[in-house]
Amino acid sequence: MEELLQGLRAVAEPTRLRILALCAHAELTVSDLTQILNQSQPRVSRHLKLMVEAHLLERFREGQWAFYRIAQDGAPAKLAHTLVDLIPADDEAHARDLERLDQIKEQRARAADEYFRKNAQQWDELRRLYVDDAEIEAALRRLVPDDEVGRLLDIGTGTGRILEIFADRYDRAVGVDRSREMLAVARANLDRAGVSHWQVRLGDMYALPASQRSFDTVTVHMVLHYAEDPAGAIAEAARVLKPGGRLIVVDFAPHQSEVLREQHAHRRLGFSDEEVERWFRAAGLVPGQTTRLPGRPLTVCLWCGRRPANDVANDRAASQDRVNARAGSA
């Protein structure tokens, strides 16, 4: 009861209600909100602090920036969403705020387009080496039935494309990437696509910003070949899977294209079924059948592992298995 009362007190002010409504539509910084609301940064920061303390908003730091979004879990989150839904669609202040929010999204989109223009040649060179992205995405969707995506985590989310193609299937999605520039691109792309039930976070594949056994589906799409410790990355991905959850790794089969290591920072030239399956088992997952998509010259593989629904694995034994798997991958 006290938690709900704290939430009601925190939002019982016109500007704070406007901020809550804006943060239900996008992840926003203090700078974004001062621009939309035409209010001073200290005042906006005070409002945000109160609502974060009341668990109506979530705050996530990326380097020197902090992003705010409406809370997703708990009683205060339900209260926040209910209050936003009650705001009349024809409210003049809210309508103006949304118009200014659209301008912020357009600015993000222009910045994302500029980033891609600068890097388009490199990306096009890579794409020509393997099968069309649409074929990979279709294979990914076939691996996960509509009613089993649940809560989705995409590791190394890049442009946010995986969050976009599964948007009609998940309850909630989080994309993690270590590049602030790529997170900016992902935000712009997801805003442009009209996807709303997502978050993107700055984070490392070896130390995910997520609690144990909190996701139904985890994807690692074209990321593992950059990893110094692939076994460790898979073990960390498996850590956040719920019992019955599914991990899907999309990457290259073994190849000899040294140019990818020399010019594109790939640490590994593909992976064999045997080593990926060994890493899955060490992480407590049951390997499934590999999907192969032959390309010219690179073949893309989709490896799937499931955490047993009745999983009660001994953490100490699993930890030793992970150490052994890493030694085998060295």
Which DSSP string corresponds to 247-263?
A: EEEEEEPS---HHHHHH
More reliable by pLDDT, 206 or 329: 206
Domain annotation covers residue 228:
yes
Domain annotation covers residue 78:
yes
The residue range of the domain holding 289 is 129-329
The per-residue pLDDT for 316 is: 42
**The model scores a pTM over 0.85:** no
Same domain, 82 and 219: no
Farthest-apart Cα atoms in the chain, separation: 63
At 127-167, the pLDDT tens digits run: 667 888 899 999 999 998 888 899 999 999 988 999 999 99
The encoded tokens of residue 133 equal 């992205």
> Contact 218/247 with Cβ under 8 angstroms?
yes
Residue ending a domain, among 64, 86, 101, is: 101
| Strand ranges for the chain from DSSP E | 57-62, 65-70, 150-155, 170-177, 198-202, 215-221, 241-252, 286-287, 291-293, 300-306
The per-residue pLDDT for 243 is: 96
Q: Which of 84-93, 103-112, 190-199, 319-328 shows the lowest per-residue confidence on average (mean pLDDT)?
A: 319-328
The pLDDT of 94-98, averaged and rounded, is 92
Domain annotation covers residue 114:
no
Domain annotation covers residue 161:
yes
Same domain, 139 and 274: yes
Q: How many domains does the chain have?
A: 2
At 189-215, the pLDDT tens digits run: 898 888 888 999 999 899 999 999 999
Same domain, 41 and 95: yes
Domain annotation covers residue 107:
no
**Residue 314 pLDDT exceeds 50:** no
Same domain, 82 and 149: no
45/23 Cα distance (integer angstroms):
14
Q: What percent of the chain has pLDDT over 90?
A: 56
At 235-267, the pLDDT tens digits run: 999 999 999 999 999 999 999 888 887 877 788
**Residue 286 pLDDT exceeds 90:** yes
Same domain, 269 and 233: yes
For residue 73, which of 245, 211, 262 has the smallest C-alpha distance? Answer: 211
Domain annotation covers residue 122:
no
**Residue 30 pLDDT exceeds 80:** yes
Q: The domain spanning residue 65 has which CATH number?
A: 1.10.10.10
- Per DSSP, the three-state class of 181 is helix
242/256 Cα distance (integer angstroms):
36
Same domain, 97 and 134: no
Same domain, 144 and 222: yes
Q: The domain spanning residue 194 has which CATH number?
A: 3.40.50.150
Same domain, 310 and 190: yes
The residues pairing with 305 across neighbouring beta strands, listed in sequence order, are 247, 287
Same domain, 138 and 17: no
Same domain, 172 and 72: no
Domain annotation covers residue 120:
no
Same domain, 159 and 306: yes
The encoded tokens of residue 291 equal 């999907």
Cα separation values, 203 from 77, 162, 165, 200, Å? 23, 17, 22, 9
Residue ending a domain, among 101, 117, 142, is: 101
Same domain, 51 and 148: no
Domain annotation covers residue 112:
no
